[in-house]
Structure 1
Amino acid sequence: MKKVVLITGGSSGIGKSVGEFLTQKGFIVYGTSRNSSKIKNHPFKLVSLDVNDTVTILKAVEEVILNEGRLDILINNAGMGITGPIEETPTNEMRKVFDTNFFGAIDVMKAVLPQMRAQKSGLIINVTSIAGYMGLPFRGIYSATKGALEIVTEAIRMEVKSFGIEVTNVAPGDFATNIASGRYHTPVFENSPYKQNYQSNLNLMDSHVDSGSDPIEMAKAIYKIINTSKPKIHYKVGDFMQKFSIVLKKILPDTVYEKMLMNHYKL
């Protein structure tokens, strides 16, 4: 029996690459988009879903189950970025990113769990970020949303294991996607005390995305996780130094690690 996959944020970037790869591997794939009707000639099916609207979440999950009779895998991929000095970033914009990256992912998990519990099987893969393992300057709120989702995944994984459901995280590093175009940028204010450092770090962030890895690497990693009988709690996908930075944080004194980050970001 072909497994049924639901990928939030499946219209572009990592979500599209993963969906296309899994379709080629014989899975029945549904992606989501807030405006799925506007997207033509997509390589797999799209349903309308806004992670900030629980009505659309429930409707999309119901549509997949009605069409296929089951739902085997959720890939919680939808997300947005945010940059800016914390002092100058509007708090309401911070809340929007938490609503999308954190509460939105939780609401989608809530929607699929009853079906997976009835099946006595299921796999939830939460796409987080290597940035979620550390507080990065001018990306602190984004780091916080992804770090929070990592911790919630650890908790819910234990809560649902007895139902035959597996939950895991996969944290990507920098990938060549259009995430930079969709993130909230706090403006670089002319009279800001952060002006020089923030602008230089914005340039650095954009260059990392532009020169990032091919999203197909994430697709291959997720395919491997799906075919693992007992998934680990955490997976990291990125270049060596991105993954090694997490190891360094565990073994270095806090102030030494902080100095290393500040040197990297020229602060």
Structure 2
Amino acid sequence: MSKVVLITGASSGIGKSIAIFLSEKGYKVYGTSRNPKNKENLSFELVALNVLKIDTIKSAVDLVVQKEGRLDVLVNNAGMGITGPVEDTPTDEMRAVFNTNLFGAIDVMKAALPHMRTQKTGLIINVTSIAGYMGLPFRGLYSASKGALELVTEAMSMEVKSLGIHVVNVAPGDFATNIAAGRYHTPVFKNSAYKEKYQANLDLMDAHVDSGMDTIEMAKAIHKIINTKKPKLHYKVGDFMQKFSIVLKRILPDRVYEKLLMNHYKL
């Protein structure tokens, strides 16, 4: 019997790539979007879900279970980016990114878990970020929101393991997607103390995304995890240096690692 998979944020980018790849592998895939438009010939069904609206989350999960009788895998992929110096970034925008990247992901898990408990089996995959392992300059709020989801994943993994449910996370590095277009960018204020360095780093971030890996690599990683009997807790998908940066943070003194990051971002 084909596994039933629900993927949030599947109308574009990484989520769409995962949805297409898994459906081609024979899975029954449902993707979500805030405003689904099935105008193109997708190989999966796109349903309405806004992670900021609990009623839409419950409706989407219930729809999948009603149609398929089960929910085997949840891929929590929906998220948003944010850039800016912490001092210059509006606090309301900080709350918005946490509401999407952390609390939205938690609310989707809370909707899926009762069904998985009934089945006595299930897999939840939270898409975080390599940026969540370190506080990156001008991306501090994004790093913090993804790092928080990593820790919630660790806690939930222990809470639900005896129920037959696995919770893992996958941290991607830079991928060639349209994430930059959907980010909240704190304006480069004329009288900001960070004006020149922030602008230079905005240009650097966009260059990293443009030269990022193909999203198919994330799709392959998700497929492999689904087919692993005892999945690991943490997975990283990115180029060698991005993954190695996490290792360096573990072994280097804090200020030495900080200096490496500052040199990289020309601070």
- TM-score, normalising length from structure 2? 0.99
List per-residue Cα deviations over 1:179-220 (Å, max 9, x = no partner).
000000000111111000000000000000000000000000
Once the two structures are aligned, what percentage of the paired residues are identical? 75
The separation in 2 between residues aligned to 1:38 and 1:117, in whole angstroms, is 31
1:49 corresponds in structure 2 to 49
Letter aligned with residue 85 of structure 2: P
Indicate if the aligned counterparts of 2:3 and 2:27 stay in contact, CA closer than 8 A: yes
- 2:124 equivalent to 1:124: yes
2:14 corresponds in structure 1 to 14
Q: CA deviation at 1:38?
A: 6.2
2:154 corresponds in structure 1 to 154
Letter aligned with residue 237 of structure 1: V
2:177 corresponds in structure 1 to 177
Letter aligned with residue 67 of structure 1: K
List per-residue Cα deviations over 1:137-161 (Å, max 9, x = no partner).
0000000000000000000000000
The separation in 2 between residues aligned to 1:56 and 1:24, in whole angstroms, is 27
The separation in 1 between residues aligned to 2:24 and 2:38, in whole angstroms, is 24
Indicate if the aligned counterparts of 2:20 and 2:42 stay in contact, CA closer than 8 A: no
2:27 corresponds in structure 1 to 27
Indicate if the aligned counterparts of 2:30 and 2:47 stay in contact, CA closer than 8 A: yes
Indicate if the aligned counterparts of 2:38 and 2:46 stay in contact, CA closer than 8 A: no
The separation in 2 between residues aligned to 1:200 and 1:187, in whole angstroms, is 13
Aligned residues: 267
1:92 corresponds in structure 2 to 92
Structure 2, unaligned runs of 5 or more: none
The separation in 2 between residues aligned to 1:160 and 1:31, in whole angstroms, is 24
Q: CA deviation at 1:44?
A: 1.1
The separation in 2 between residues aligned to 1:209 and 1:169, in whole angstroms, is 21
Instruction: Please tell me the root mean square deviation across aligned C-alpha atoms, in Å.
Output: 0.7
The separation in 2 between residues aligned to 1:37 and 1:27, in whole angstroms, is 21
The separation in 1 between residues aligned to 2:55 and 2:38, in whole angstroms, is 20
2:135 corresponds in structure 1 to 135
Q: CA deviation at 1:167?
A: 0.4
The separation in 1 between residues aligned to 2:114 and 2:38, in whole angstroms, is 30
Q: CA deviation at 1:39?
A: 4.8
The separation in 1 between residues aligned to 2:41 and 2:78, in whole angstroms, is 20
Q: Secondary structure at the match of 1:9?
A: coil
- TM-score, normalising length from structure 1? 0.99
- 2:181 equivalent to 1:194: no
Indicate if the aligned counterparts of 2:177 and 2:215 stay in contact, CA closer than 8 A: yes
List per-residue Cα deviations over 1:96-123 (Å, max 9, x = no partner).
0000000000000000000000000000
Structure 1, unaligned runs of 5 or more: none
Q: Secondary structure at the match of 1:46?
A: strand
